Amino acid sequence: MSLTQIEFQAEGTGDAPAQAIQGRSPWMLAWRRLRQDKVAIASGALILVLALLAILAPVISSLVGHSPDTPYTNTGLNSQGLPVGPSGTFLFGTDGLGRDLFVRVLYGAQISLLVGFVSTLIGTAAGVVMGMTAGYFGGVIDTVLARFIDSVLAFPYVVLALALAVVFGPSLSVTIGVISFFSWAAIARVVRGQTLSIKEKEYVEAARSIGSGPWRIMFIDILPNLIAPVLVLATLAVPTAIVFEATLSYLGVGIQPPTSSWGNLLSQAQTFYQTSWWYLVFPAGFLLLTTLAFNLLGDGVRDAMDPRTERLFASQRKGRRSAAKRARPTPPATEVS
Amino acid sequence: MAFLTFLIRRLLLGIIVMWFVTVATFLLFFVAPQDPARLLAGKNPTPQTIAAINARLGLNQPLIVQYGHYVDRLVHGNLGTSFVNGSSVNTILKQDLPPTLSLLVGGVILWLIVGLGAGILSATRVRTLVDRTSTVGVLIGITFPTFVLGLLLQFAIFLPLNRSGFHWVQTGYEGPTTSIIGWAGHMILPWITIAAVSAATYTRLTRGSLLDTMGEDYIRTARSKGLTERRVLYRHAIRAALTPVVSQLGVDMGTLAGGAVVTEQVFGLGGIGQQSLTSITTGDTPVVLGIVLMAALFVVVANIVVDVLYSVLDPRVKLS
Amino acid sequence: MSLLEVRDLRVSFPTADGVVRAVRGVSFSVDAGRTIGIVGESGSGKTVLTQTLLGLTPGGEVSGSAVFDGTDLIGLPEEQLRRIRGAQIAVIFQDPLTSLHPLYRVGWQIAEMVRAHDKSVSKAAAAERAVELLARVGIPQPRQRARDYPHQFSGGMRQRAMIAMALSLEPKMIIADEPTTALDATVQAQILDLLLRLQQDSGTALIMITHDLGVVADIADDVMVMYAGRAAEMAAKRDIFYQPHHPYTKGLLESIPNSSAGAGRLRPITGQPPSLINVPPGCAFHPRCAYVMDKCLTDEPGLIPVAQDAYHRSACWLPVTAAGLSEQAEEARRRTVGEGRHEAAAKIAEAIAESPEAEGSVIA
């Protein structure tokens, strides 16, 4: 080939090498990572099963033949008037009044999941709006809102929650309201921080300079970048909300009996657990499993969105070559020519 | 000089916050649908009973007047008297403080040791067995609702031990002045309960913070200076990684000082937390006000301490 | 006998997406007292190369050898490597704001270095030495400044402090990783001048990593141009600028904005640097090369001597006579090198050398 080839060959040779890294959007990458996380998938499956059970609680109740609020004093209590243990009739045993614990636990799942999701939804929405507003507008608005957020977060929330619940009378909607009130603050703080840093980025400056109004900028430029951290926070906020509801119900200021909530079941269990272990174990077990599943899922979502290279420190301590072998997650690829 | 200005300004702000808190609480209870007199009157109260209670407690006066009396007493250090049993709120709080403080101090020490230790160990041995174990531990810690842990601990430890004649572990509270051993026996399960969640949170916080720090440029510089890995870790990395942990600690202590309601309730410790539960549900407003005020005071002080501490730890931060 | 002799150094990193081959067989040597400039774009492997020498690249698979003063650094046990760091080979990093510990005073950090390898030095003596060093790099009021924190320094002063730290144990070799990239142009020239002067005073070997040919023009004796983890061309400075052989080198020279002429458009090199996970077969530069031949697609060229002097080598299949450049390109290249950056930097150095008060002052 002659050397007088002209520079225009620089357009690239016909067969450019295969693209090693295709242009995948970060969302697809995150999804791919999540799919490979077995633990997260298992947790997600568990949550789905639980949700199903909760939705089908009335169906299951009629299948078993026991309703959640009926005390079965004949079959459900023994000769001393104490609850009976797990058996063919009562899968999880009975509670202090002879009610079917299995059915009550399932109905309790309804409450937990409902409160968990709804309060997280409300809290997230409110938190995002407040956080963005504080972060974007800055100045006095920010100072006031930030201080408010800090106070809400720092306040011994149990006391305040108690007070609100007592003042307005404990009920489902009050519980949801109280929990939403506390979850928005944590989200708002993070959103505010993120907004503050995103606001300084060039593309926001660019948007401002072409005359976009603040609301437009917030919702079109800033919000999309918030979705990832907010999603992680929200997923992790659900179990917090569930636990919060259980705690309030346990203390007597949340869901009131006869409606069953895992929390009030456990509160009753405190008087009975010396003789009736099932009363404690089953509601506690469900509560734990549910929170565990959500936390694992939340961790999985977070890792999928932002994987860390953690090898950095480990291998450094032990010398390079040997550590490299240990640190290598994949078998050696191409050997160098 | 700047420090003094900062301190004065924050204290003033703190007082404003506390004032605001009293107003809010006051309003909350007096505009509530629940009538305090009715709550106190018991079953089927007659209108005369209710009126008598109202007069006795001064509840029939205009709100502003009541608030005025309240502030007046407050300035003189008197938190009022309980609606329920007539004892002085000051006394009640003084009695309730020791269990809460015992819980707090023991709990903090426990969760710091566990949290920092596990966090540093995990961060320095990433992905090894130690790290994975602590990750599992963290998960369990944050998953467990406090009251469930308390109940399970009672069920699994206190019950069997007591049944087999070993009585050191007990529920309820016994002060250290009575017997240190007894005190520890009563407090051991509550300490574990209250420390569990925080230990998990702090482990995660420390691990994350330390891992972040280890990736920083100045750690690379420290290594390139030929410092031993140990020195790089302790003097350079941990020092930098601890600042968020310290500020978190300040906030947590401030919050907890207002009473750990759940733990106290589960174990029957009779501290501020349990008191607040009882007082709120019985409508004993003066006691509630006293507790809320005290809690707010702790929070304000904790925030100030944290800010000062932070500026000491990180010279880039100026006290504003 | 060279102070540092690197032979066929290879470094790869396993990642979730594949093995990243950051350094694919690099050999070079540095003599005592000399300066070698390593030039390349981001991702060319220049930083990984030098950091691997000191074991500062965790997780990497390393092969090859790097003999420093008789000892092979590759595979050296951590403890021995640690003793070399700072004392024999010191590093100056790119961004002094993030490279200095934000929570410790500058004087303390330098004193720490002084005591790092010799605990018998007292804290007071080390602190004194720190002040001396700060003065030596031209920081005014060094005693007060030693008690300041890094964020209280200006960019140029911070870099001077880092240089002071690197010099504290009088190492035989300094690796300067883009020390001026984070600074503005005037400060850049001062720092380079400082480095040059200090190096000449103490006879330290210097590896200067940069993406800026102007910097190389000022300070290097020899130059190695890196591309995609390998050396594209190696030569004495003069040859790189006046007789570049490798099309990548020529491309770099042509894409320098020309301050004096002002005419003509910039001619950047088209395309992107390749992925180091899937390096193109044959010559890694071939997708962007204006002179690509069939052979380039299949056979990766080694470093081939291109001149009488065997030192000037180029990893390119083009014949030695660098024919084929368009006239335009030739012209542009000549102008750039002859009159551009090189001259501007020289002017500033002159000015500083001429005014006695300016010496050691900080114009940040």
Q: How far apart are the C-alpha atoms of B71 and B68, rounded to whole Å?
A: 5
Is residue B66 scored above 90 in pLDDT? Answer: no
Is residue B259 scored above 70 in pLDDT? Answer: no
Which of 262-281 (C) contact A at CB < 8 A? 270-271, 274-275, 277-278, 280-281
Our CA angle for B98, B101, B103, nearest 5°, is 110
User: Residue A12, CB half-sphere, CA atoms under 13 Å: how many?
Assistant: 10
- CATH assignment at residue B130: 1.10.3720.10
**Alpha-helical regions (H) of chain C:** 46-53, 78-84, 96-99, 106-116, 123-136, 142-145, 155-167, 185-202, 213-219, 237-242, 247-254, 294-298, 327-339, 341-354
Is residue B29 scored above 70 in pLDDT? Answer: no
Which residues of chain A neighbour C292 with C-beta distances below 8 Å? Answer: 5, 9, 13
Q: In chain B, how long is the greatest CA-to-CA distance?
A: 85
Q: Within a domain: residue B206?
A: yes
Query: Which chains would you list as touching C if contact means 3+ CB atom pairs under 8 Å?
Result: A, B
Given 3-state DSSP classes, what are the helix, strand and coil percentages for chain B, each rounded to the nearest 5?
75, 0, 20
**Alpha-helical regions (H) of A56-138:** 57-64, 73-76, 101-137
Contact B225 C116 (CB under 8 A): yes
Contact C90 B239 (CB under 8 A): no
In tens, the pLDDT along B67-101 reads: 777 777 777 777 777 777 778 888 888 888 888 88
H or E element, residue B68: helix B63-75
Q: Are the beta carbons of B125 and B118 closer than 8 angstroms?
A: no
Q: Count of domains in chain B?
A: 1
| Residue type for position A115 | V
pTM of the model: 0.74
pLDDT, block means (10 residues), chain A with 337 residues: 32 38 68 82 91 89 81 76 78 82 89 91 91 82 83 70 76 86 86 81 75 75 80 87 90 84 88 83 90 87 66 29 29 23
Region C103-113: mean pLDDT is 93
Sequence-distant (6+) residues with CB within 8 A of C16 are: A307, A329, A330
Contact C278 A324 (CB under 8 A): no
Q: Within a domain: residue B12?
A: no
Q: Within a domain: residue B292?
A: no
Q: How far apart are the C-alpha atoms of A311 and A324, rounded to whole Å?
A: 9
In tens, the pLDDT along B39-63 reads: 666 666 677 777 777 776 666 677 7
User: Measured between alpha carbons, how far is residue A159 from residues A108, B100, C84, C192 in Å?
Assistant: 24, 14, 60, 63
User: Residue B185, CB half-sphere, CA atoms under 13 Å: how many?
Assistant: 14
Token code pair at residue B58:
């001064």
- B125 to chain C, any CB pair closer than 8 A? The answer is no
Which residues of chain C neighbour A5 with C-beta distances below 8 Å? Answer: 290-293, 324
Q: Within a domain: residue B251?
A: yes
Question: What is the 3-state secondary structure of B32-58?
Answer: CCCCHHHHHHCCCCCHHHHHHHHHHHC
- B314 to chain C, any CB pair closer than 8 A? The answer is yes
Q: Within a domain: residue B181?
A: yes
Region C252-259: mean pLDDT is 69
Is residue C104 scored above 50 in pLDDT? Answer: yes
ipTM of the complex: 0.78
Contact B281 A239 (CB under 8 A): no
Region C8-25: mean pLDDT is 88
User: Measured between alpha carbons, how far is residue A19 from residues B99, C248, C277, C280 in Å?
Assistant: 66, 22, 10, 10
Q: In chain C, how long is the greatest CA-to-CA distance?
A: 67
What's the pLDDT at B32?
59
Q: Are the beta carbons of B135 and B122 closer than 8 angstroms?
A: yes
Q: How far apart are the C-alpha atoms of A234 and A133, rounded to whole Å?
A: 19
Q: How far apart are the C-alpha atoms of B279 and B29, rounded to whole Å?
A: 12
In tens, the pLDDT along B92-132 reads: 888 888 888 888 888 999 999 999 999 999 988 888 888 88
Token code pair at residue A268:
């009753």
DSSP track, C294-331: HHHHH-----EE-SSSTT-EE---S-SS-TT--HHHHH
Which residues of chain A neighbour B28 with C-beta distances below 8 Å? Answer: 163-164, 167
- B310 to chain C, any CB pair closer than 8 A? The answer is no
Of C310, C43, B32, the residue nearest A170 (C-alpha): B32
Contact A154 B251 (CB under 8 A): yes
- A292 to chain B, any CB pair closer than 8 A? The answer is yes
Q: Within a domain: residue B193?
A: yes
Whole-number percent of chain B with pLDDT over 70: 92
In tens, the pLDDT along B194-240 reads: 898 889 889 989 998 998 899 899 999 999 998 998 999 999 999 99
Q: Residue C312: which pLDDT band, with cuts at 50, 70 and 90?
A: confident
Is residue C6 scored above 90 in pLDDT? Answer: yes
Q: What value does the mean pLDDT of chain B take?
A: 82
Is residue B318 scored above 70 in pLDDT? Answer: yes
CATH class entry, domain A28-64+92-307: mainly alpha
Testing the interface with B: which of A253, A279, A313 to mutate, by most B Cβ within 10 A? A313
Closest-CA residue of B relative to C81 is B226
| Residue type for position B307 | D
Q: How far apart are the C-alpha atoms of A164 and A160, rounded to whole Å?
A: 6
What's the pLDDT at C304?
84
Q: How far apart are the C-alpha atoms of A131 and A194, rounded to whole Å?
A: 9
Q: Is C85 helix (H, G, I), strand (E, B) or coil?
A: strand
Q: Within a domain: residue B178?
A: yes
Contact B217 C101 (CB under 8 A): no
Q: Residue B35: which pLDDT band, with cuts at 50, 70 and 90?
A: low
Task: Name the packing angle between helices C185-202 and C155-167 (round to 10°).
Answer: 10
Contact A313 B128 (CB under 8 A): no
In tens, the pLDDT along C203-232 reads: 899 999 998 888 888 889 999 999 999 999
User: Measured between alpha carbons, how far is residue B122 from residues B112, B211, C164 in Å?
Assistant: 15, 9, 36
What's the pLDDT at A316?
30
What's the pLDDT at A310?
37
Our CA angle for C184, C185, C186, nearest 5°, is 100
Scan for tokens 């709990």, then name that residue.
B107
Structure letter (DSSP) for residue C23: E
In tens, the pLDDT along C266-286 reads: 666 767 788 888 888 888 887
- B239 to chain C, any CB pair closer than 8 A? The answer is yes
What's the pLDDT at B225?
92
Contact C82 B228 (CB under 8 A): yes
Q: Chain A residues with CB-CB distance to C under 8 A?
A: 1, 3-13, 16-18, 20-21, 307, 309, 311-321, 323-325, 327-330, 332-334, 336-337
- Structural domain range at position B118: 93-273
CA distance B169 to chain A (A): 16
Q: Residue B251: which pLDDT band, with cuts at 50, 70 and 90?
A: confident
Contact A270 B211 (CB under 8 A): no
Contact A317 B124 (CB under 8 A): yes
